[in-house]
Chain A
Amino acid sequence: MAGPVLSLKGLGKRFGASPVFSGVDLDVASGDRIAIIGASGSGKSTLLRCINFLERPDEGRVILGGEPVGEARQRGGGTEMRYDERALNRLRQRVGMVFQQFNLFPHMTVIANVMEGLVTVKRIARDEARPKALAELARVGLADKAEAYPAHLSGGQKQRVAIARALAMEPEILLFDEPTSALDPALVGEVLNTIQSLAEDGRTMLLVTHEIGFAYHMATRVIFLAEGGIYEQGTPDEVLKAPRRPLTQAFIAGHRRFNF
């Protein structure tokens, strides 16, 4: 059995003086699907963004495929982390991210959005990158939109293109940052279906979401963030059906209230 594909060791992040979270430990094995839930402001997105270093963690380490990211240096009394820009660019190729606001490149066609990383980052020739990008678009059911501009797509279609763009890089891990929160309710389903099909392919993913029902069906493990860290974790049944600690219970109860 190989080691975890991703480990977080004592990860912490502050904004100014106020800590967002601290001491987060997490091991992600290949094929794990981890749903991260919690109240707004609990640091779910920030935690996710620390994994691909869109935010620099202030403490702790990210270990990807057994290799720690960054170098620890002794300075003054404590250790200071140094992150090489190019090493971070390489890490980001291995860790894909899908954003709440899609963030498609509006000046490029759909196919060009998906090809961009292949051509610019991986330096793959255009005529080689194109069929690969088309295959990813077909996977999310949007091959027929290849030549459209993002402005002419629905929100759900945009998010599926964003997923194809992340997939094209063949990442080892996918990070989803509230992928359906910016969508009309009617469009949530198609995006969740796409994510579900990736889950069935056995992809490793971390998903920050408010869709508790989806988390229950899709995740192999659920993490509830509160009080600046992992407050409770376990299987979906444990955390979502039978939470043990009071904040988790209140949170789940709040989400259950209007289900019928």
Chain B
Amino acid sequence: MYSWNFAPVLANSDLLLAGLWNTLALTFVALAGGLPVGLALALARLSGTRSLSVPAGIVIEVFRTTPPLVQLFWFYFGLPIVLNVEMTPYLAAALTFTIQSGAFFAEIFRAGIVSVDKGQREAARAIGMSSTQTMARIVLPQAVKRMFPAMMERSIELMKTTTLVATVSYADLLYQANELAQKTFRPLEVFTAAALIYFVTISLFSALGALVERRMAASGEMAAR
């Protein structure tokens, strides 16, 4: 019978918390960068100008269809060779997940934008709004509300995918857990504790998202048209 002992984990909880901090930092950067990248890719893909839509389409498809681990290796090992630049684990991870989440967000943005009724655009143009004003004031605010649940889902997925950065020695939560497991010889307890931290963090994030979603619904539009 295995006897559980969480004492060594608790004694070293600062290590795990440092890892959590790095995971959160990376997730935040990838989200903050991925949203504008995704919007830009979506607008480029929808632009109707082939010199924009084709490259955007290629970036989106490549990053959606290749394994994130391979992408991470491209940036960490490949980019320094090709471009002769210095790469830190953090930089490689931030780049990979910014672009990768951008590619996924682009498709969510695109679906959201396309879902806004054509009459909305026409009404905006009919009072003299430019296409940029129409997008910013009329189409995107409606699209974002509809996209929000999918965005939340993707963000949760992103936080879990960042665990791959342990492979390039970025000290995220999972990397720290691995270190601690080897140090304490208590892998079951350590990884269970790590899973618990992910569970709590993502649940909190999720609850926050649900709150925002309800707020948006209360502000009118979703109460049917």
Contacts and interface: CB of A to CB of B under 8 A. Distances in A.
A116 B131 contact: no
B128 A85 contact: no
Interface stretch (B52-60, B79-87, B119-127, B153-161): B119-127
Contacts of B186: none
Interface stretch (B61-69, B88-96, B133-141, B202-210): B133-141
Contact of A152 (B124, B142, B219, B223): B223
B122 A103 contact: yes
> How extensive is the interface on chain B, given as a class?
20 to 34
B214 interface: no
A90 B122 CA distance: 15
Contact of B119 (A86, A99, A151, A166): A99
A150 B222 CA distance: 11
A120 B127 CA distance: 10
Given A106-B221, A151-B221, A85 B131 contact: yes
Given A103-B119, A107-B142, A120-B137, 20 more contacts: A89-B128, A90-B128, A92-B125, A93-B128, A96-B126, A101-B119, A103-B120, A104-B123, A105-B142, A106-B142, A107-B220, A107-B221, A116-B127, A149-B220, A151-B220, A151-B223, A152-B220, A165-B123, A166-B126, A169-B127
Interface of B: 117, 119-120, 122-131, 133, 137-138, 141-142, 145, 219-221, 223-225
29 contacts: A52-B126, A54-B125, A54-B126, A85-B130, A85-B131, A89-B125, A89-B129, A92-B125, A92-B126, A92-B128, A93-B128, A96-B127, A97-B126, A103-B117, A103-B119, A105-B138, A107-B219, A109-B220, A116-B127, A117-B127, A117-B129, A120-B129, A120-B133, A121-B133, A151-B223, A151-B225, A162-B123, A166-B127, A169-B128
